[in-house]
Structure 1
Amino acid sequence: MNIALYDGNNDDLKKLEECLRTQVGYEHDIETFNRGTELLDTISRNQKEFDIHFLSIETNKLSGLKIAEEIRKVDLTALIIFLSDDAEQMSNVFEFHAFDYLIKPVTVEIMESTFQRAKKYLNGNQSYIEFSFKKEKFLLPMDEIVYVTKSGRIAFIHTKNEVYKSYLTMFEILNKLNDERFIRVHGSYVINLDYVARIVKDEVFLCAPGQRGSANETSISISRRFKDDFQLSVEHLKIGEGR
């Protein structure tokens, strides 16, 4: 999970990072910014995607509200959590679909509650995947993705009707497809179990529902490394041989 922290006050920024780090350890990637332009440049120029943004509203630099406005132009799914000394600012954040509004100083207990809710939301309610390719943004429903394959630096995301490209790494793909329907069957392949038509020995055949038949099926080899995990997923979702 990628997390961005923005506050124009360096002392407040350090305290916020320490508070958050007690909850997430070093399991997640946390980046801090005391300049809003730096955060926005990281998103646009480096095509960096954050799952959660903590944005301080009152600074003498670029306003957290303005930053949120710019973020929403390119990212519709990230959670935005505002921080403020002033509860009256709360009425200004609804248009940005804010996940939470925290009053400073933020305690460890409040941070724990907020982060756990955010983590639960991301893990349980994310039904789409957002990615970019050559500065163009895409937002795809997960249930339309049949499989994803990597070839060199390019990830090819195959849906029922189109193929999209991205520079996502396999690690990033697996993090974004945080759903039990998606399973890695090969070093270069992640499949959607909803599209499994049949399994023959070490080969899985994928196709859209109602289109079963060799002309419409895609065959993917199941490597020995991932075979056991694949079998467990198949059994869990009751996908049988020759389905």
Structure 2
Amino acid sequence: MFYIVICEDDILQRELLAGYLARIFKYLELEYELIEFSSGEELLSNYPDNIDILFLDIQMDKLTGMNTARKIREFDSNVEIVFTTAIIDYIHEGYEVRAYRYLLKPLDYNCILKHTNTCINDLMDKKDTIVIKDRLQTAIIQINDILYIEVLRKEITIYTKEDKYIFKISMKSVEGTLVKKRFFRCHKSYLINLRKVNSLREKESVVIINNAEIPVSRYNLKSLKINLAHILGDILC
């Protein structure tokens, strides 16, 4: 079962998107539950538990979709936010709230089908785990929870939002698995989760993840920008 929310102040757009989603989930043969809201204020006041995908209109009266997303990220880091908008002026703000996609109006069924299907697959991937062990301990960590990994001498530290794990193993022992999951070696001492990057300060050669400043080597800066651009480009439809 997937839990879907639409927050859109235009009733015609809301009905159109709801109709598209009904067709999509029937086509994919998946069960879902849909809840609709007509404003950001209404959504925040009645925020459902365990939302998987939130379709959020950016240009709403009073509380905009972007500001609604900012408030949501204060307490929900898991929901995939898909913005719907008639303009792309806000796309640079997507990193701040970790937007999954931008869908441009007028909404197109095939575009929504493509990205909803991809999102569902990514949600399933979130359940992926990695088993990490050394001589003293074994841990099973959800890959999506990893913010970044730091290596110092013969020891790695895995940082998540809530915890950190220290293992006496090499970076290479985990890097091969994680680079296939949108991780990037930005520095000889750091492997970062690209989906968790909040911003890139190019002049200082650092990326910001969860308020941590992580150095980027000059050699890797261009490749990092390309990888981040691919993610940003991938969220626009």
Amino acid at match of 1:89: Y
Paired position in structure 2 for 1:207: none
Task: Output aligned runs, 1:97-136, within 5 Å.
Answer: 97-127=98-128
TM-score (norm: length of structure 1): 0.49
Aligned equivalents of 2:89 and 2:44: distance in 1?
A: 26
- Structure 1, residues 87-134: CA drift from partner, whole Å, max 9, x if none? 222112221111111101111101100101100000013348xxxxxx
Paired position in structure 2 for 1:177: none
Paired position in structure 2 for 1:42: 46
Aligned equivalents of 1:40 and 1:100: distance in 2?
A: 21
Aligned equivalents of 1:41 and 1:127: distance in 2?
A: 32
Say which SS state the counterpart of residue 82 (structure 1) adopts. strand
Paired position in structure 2 for 1:95: 96
Given candidates 16, 19, 36, the residue that maps to 1:32 is: 36
- Structure 1, residues 195-234: CA drift from partner, whole Å, max 9, x if none? xxxxxxxxxxxxxxxxxxxxxxxxxxxxxxxxxxxxxxxx
What is the CA-CA distance between 1:142 and the residue it aligns to? 5.2
Amino acid at match of 1:122: L
Gap regions ≥5 residues in structure 2: 130-139, 144-237
Amino acid at match of 2:6: L
Aligned equivalents of 2:10 and 2:88: distance in 1?
A: 19
Amino acid at match of 1:93: G
Aligned equivalents of 2:17 and 2:79: distance in 1?
A: 19
Task: Output aligned runs, 1:93-242, within 5 Å.
Answer: 93-127=94-128, 141=141
Give the direction of change, closer, same or farther, for the CA distance of 1:127–1:69 in structure 2 (3 Å limit). farther
Conserved? CA contact 1:4–1:31, under 8 Å: yes
Conserved? CA contact 1:8–1:61, under 8 Å: no
Conserved? CA contact 2:7–2:55, under 8 Å: yes
Paired position in structure 1 for 2:176: none
What percent of counterpart residues are identical?
Answer: 23
Q: CA RMSD in A?
A: 2.1
Aligned equivalents of 2:52 and 2:17: distance in 1?
A: 17
Amino acid at match of 2:54: H
What is the CA-CA distance between 1:141 and the residue it aligns to? 4.6
Conserved? CA contact 1:4–1:52, under 8 Å: yes
Conserved? CA contact 2:39–2:60, under 8 Å: no
Gap regions ≥5 residues in structure 1: 129-139, 144-243
Aligned equivalents of 1:69 and 1:127: distance in 2?
A: 27
Give the direction of change, closer, same or farther, for the CA distance of 1:2–1:20 in structure 2 (3 Å limit). same
Amino acid at match of 2:81: I
Paired position in structure 1 for 2:58: 57
Conserved? CA contact 1:2–1:49, under 8 Å: yes
Q: Which has the larger radius of gyration?
A: 1
TM-score (norm: length of structure 2): 0.51
